[in-house]
Structure 1
């Protein structure tokens, strides 16, 4: 009898969500044009040297290359242009993350004002790691402050 069955190493993280929101003085479609491009996060995350894509649309993979030599591979799970939201899952990294799921969305607050919300659920390899949540919070906050600076 064959003991092989379908399996996967990809699991959703189980920790508390980290939520970062920033209001930007620009139309929602302009904000979405920046943060809604899965292949272009290097535009507003200075720690990245570049991004390489494999495939397009849902299921595509992006490899993020960091200045310090680290790499992260993520898969686009969903993307809704009309709702201005997308989700992705990390499938490989050299940062010491066990699991990561993320979502980003944009909401119009008026004609010339909008809000971006980035939700991250992450777990470190070392569960005793001090300051992990504040590191993730700081990384996302810094990235979205760059977005605000670039678009305001």
Structure 2
């Protein structure tokens, strides 16, 4: 059966035992971990990153977003302005106390699975350390260095896009 990536993410949510076995067999490697200091209180940054499905308000190059479900297990589909570029993300974990959001990612241009984690730490009343990490099951033909070269600047830009969205 030929499944779309969205169907694959949905099946992960629905087929718990089998999926958990498959999920744990993936070899995830930290490819990128970027921390930036933003001049925004942690509560304001948290309000944006914990709102799974509102990325179009701050994510550059986002043409549309569609959210299926609510809370853990919900899946968002990104369609970018770049023709044919689509990404699916499933919300897997939220830790309100420690300001952590974790989600599974599938991009049609990479054809691999990965996990993204956003974590915040208050530095003082007006500054927040924002860390964005990507763990990837590297596909054949793609090196950590190649992917890191793409992800590091993208994460820096996205972190600052979140901060700017709150300031306006």
TM-score, normalising length from structure 2?
A: 0.75
Aligned match of 1:59: 73
Q: Which contiguous aligned blocks of 4+ residues in structure 1 show a shift greater than 6 angstroms?
A: none
Aligned match of 1:3: none
Greater strand fraction, Structure 1 or Structure 2: 1
Structure 1 position 133 matched with structure 2 position 134: no
Alpha-carbon distance change, 33 to 76 in structure 1, aligned in 2, over 3 angstroms = same
Q: Distance in 2 between matches of 1:93 and 1:23?
A: 27
Match among 103, 106, 114 for residue 88 of structure 1: 103
Encode CA deviations 1:31-59: one digit per residue, 9 max, x unaligned. 11122222122222202212110000001
Q: How many angstroms does 1:124 deviate by?
A: 4.5
Greater helix fraction, Structure 1 or Structure 2: 2
Encode CA deviations 1:59-88: one digit per residue, 9 max, x unaligned. 111111111131111110011223211111
Q: Distance in 1 between matches of 2:55 and 2:26?
A: 22
Q: Distance in 2 between matches of 1:36 and 1:151?
A: 13
- My pick for the range that moved more, 139-148 or 109-118, is 139-148
Contact 1:25 1:151 in 2 (8 A): no
Q: How much is the aligned-residue C-alpha RMSD, in angstroms?
A: 2.2
Q: Give the number of aligned pairs.
A: 146
Contact 2:26 2:137 in 1 (8 A): no
Aligned match of 1:21: 35
Q: Distance in 1 between matches of 2:118 and 2:69?
A: 20
- My pick for the range that moved more, 20-29 or 123-132, is 123-132
TM-score, normalising length from structure 1?
A: 0.82
Encode CA deviations 1:85-129: one digit per residue, 9 max, x unaligned. 111112x43112412101111111111111111111124534345
In structure 1, runs of 5+ residues without a counterpart are 1-5
SS at match of 1:42: helix
